[in-house]
Amino acid sequence: MIEFKDVHLYYSGREVLKEISMHIPDGKITAILGPSGSGKSTIIRLMLGLIQPTYGEIFVDGIEISKFSEEELFPIRKKMGIVFQGNALFDSMTVSENMGFFLRENLNLPEHEIARRVDEQLKFAGLETHAHQLPDSLSGGMRKRVAIGRALIFEPEMILFDEPTAGLDPVSSNKILAFIGQLKKEKGLGAVMVTHIINDVFSIADDVLILYHGEIIFHDEPNKMQECDHPFVQSFLLDPEEL
C-alpha cells in the first residue's frame, strides 16, 4: 500500500504538487489522470524515491520513505516495478539481457536461476522468439512488453506505469492494457497507471485519481466521474481530446 500525506513539491520556484494526500491499495489498478504538466509522472517518481518531496510524508507498506538514502530505498524499490514512458531499455543489450540485467546487478543468484526467471518473463510477455534481438529491432508494443517483463523480474508487489499506451497504435494499446489486466488477474498484481487517455482508465482501472494543476480534484471509481461537479472533470468528460 502506498500513502501520501500532505505532500508538496516545489521545482524551480514553482509548486508542482500541492497538498497531495491519497492512499493506493494493493491488488487494484489505480489510474492517475490529468493534463500534461499536472504532476502525474512526478507522483510516480515520488513513490519510488527518485525525487524527494519538499514537505510531507510518503509511506510504502507503512514505512515512511521520503527521507531515505539510495541504499535504504533499494528494498522498497524492489517491491515496485516501473515501466517508464519511453521504456528506458538498454539499447546495446538484447531483450533477454535487458530482462536479466538487474537480477545480475543486484541479487546474488546462480546463472541458471536468472535464466529461469528470464525465460518465465519472456514466455509471459510472449517474446520467446525475440530473446536475442536488440530492442531497436522490435515494435513499440513489443518494447513495452520487454519493459514490463523487466519490471516483473523482481516479482514486485505493485507495478507503476508511466503512460503505458503513449505512442502506440490502437491495436498495440489494447494489447498492453489487456496485458496489464492479465497481470492483475493472474498474478494479483496491483498497478498505478499514469495516463492522459480516458479510454485507458475506463478499460482497466478500479480507481481513478484526477490531477489538475498539481492538486487532486477527484479520487474514486471511474464510473463516479459523472457525479463530480469540478468544471475540469465535466469539460473533460464532454471532450476528452481537450486533455
Which amino acid would we find at residue 237? L
Toward another protein, which CB reaches closer, 104 or 230?
A: 104
Neighbours of 170 (CB within 10 A): 9
User: Cβ 147 to another protein, closest distance in Å?
Assistant: 9
> Residue 83 or residue 216: which is nearer to another protein going by CB?
83
Smallest separation (angstroms) from another protein to the CB of 57: 21
- Which C-beta is closer to another protein: that of 88 or that of 178? 88
Name the minimum Å distance from CB 91 to another protein: 8
Summarize as ranges the residues that interact with another protein (CB under 8 A).
45, 48, 50, 70, 74, 77-78, 82, 84-86, 88-90, 102, 105-106, 150, 154
- Distance in Å, CB of 233 to another protein, minimum: 30
Instruction: Choose between 18 and 78: whose C-beta lies nearer to another protein.
Output: 78
Torsional class of 39: left (φ above 0), alpha (ψ -120 to 50), beta (otherwise)? left
Q: How far is CA 144 from the centre of its chain?
A: 12
